[in-house]
Amino acid sequence: MRVGIVNVTGYAGAELARILGRHPGVELAEVTGRSAAGQPLGAVFPHLASLGLTIQAELENVDFAFSALPHHTSAEVIPGLLKGGLRVVDISGDFRLKDPESYRRWYGIQHPAPELLQEAVYGLPELHGAQIPAARLISNPGCYPTSAILGLAPLVTRADREFIVDSKSGISGAGRTMKLNVNHYCEVNESVMAYGLEGHRHQPEIAQELEELLFRATSERGVDVTFIPHIVPMTRGILSTCYARLKEEMTQAQLLELYREFYAGQPFVRVVDSAPQSKHAWGSNLCIIHPRTRGDGKVVVVSCIDNLVKGAAGQAVHNMNLMLGFRPDMGLESLPVYP
């Protein structure tokens, strides 16, 4: 199976190339990046030089594609890939929200391909694993939503429907394009910045998935999510602290059992006995979760991932594995890097 990456020159695209370059079930055959077309991949990313690829302007001869283009641009390109018979995993936000009006509100533009919104499967395997194998278009979840949704999903029917998510991300989550107060060293070093206080496009994504999970279990809707992201001066990682109020009090042992039963058989979710640190997931496709009951009806859940792996490229490869009938963890077996 020959696979290709559209726009390898961003952080997520480069991470895809790193993982796919050693995947035993596929051949990373082509990568594109219009601004760097014609250059060896190793000239742009020296750590990928051994893959021996040259960056092209367009994909020409592949069987499966990943799109790592920015939002809006990705939705303009993907219809052509699908018409060409390719199955696609999209890492952008273009197909995550099912409602085109919601997309217009949060992304500031009309959706370029609204006819594909209902077809696209939200690629969180722990919740949509049954739908992914037959899909031709997967919308890879956002990095913040991955940590938040997995942290809160087991509580959807056990807690009040109001959730608070406080998330902190490494600077790579903002991408390679220079933005003064987001990834300029002098601005972000030794500082923590909250943003999106007036609303953030990942909030409706989190709410959409939690509400869908609630509807499947109870035929009811209505979830209230408050989401506040922060940037912290580290390269990789997301740590989300999520808050909820239980309908009925649970002991700590019962809460841990609830989470472990919910994620039983999921190779990339680990429910642990103490709060994880972001570095515990660094370089891996793991989501590490610790739920804690406070004895007053409130629950605090700490959830951490590597934003470029489980939050982007690793999850995309997990989706590909399910689509192509491989083991879910094929090519993703690496343990976290520490320290």
Q: Average pLDDT per run of 10 along the chain, which is 339 residues long? A: 97 98 98 96 98 98 97 96 98 97 96 97 98 98 98 98 97 86 89 96 98 96 97 96 97 98 98 97 98 94 98 98 98 94
Residues annotated catalytic, as ranges = 143
pLDDT for residue 182 = 83
**Strands (DSSP E) found in the chain:** 2-6, 27-32, 55-56, 64-67, 87-90, 121-122, 137-139, 162-169, 193-194, 224-231, 238-245, 269-271, 287-293, 298-305
pLDDT for residue 181 = 82
Nearest by Cα to 64 from 7, 26, 16: 26
Distance from C-alpha of 43 to C-alpha of 36, rounded to nearest angstrom: 9
pLDDT for residue 176 = 83
Establish whether the linkage from the previous residue to 336 is cis, with ω within 30° of 0: no
pLDDT for residue 295 = 85
pLDDT for residue 253 = 97
Domain architecture of the chain: domains with CATH: 2-141+310-324 (3.40.50.720), 144-307 (3.30.360.10)
Within 10 Å of residue 92's Cβ, how many Cβ atoms? 23
Q: Is the pTM of this model over 0.75?
A: yes
pLDDT for residue 221 = 93
pLDDT for residue 175 = 87
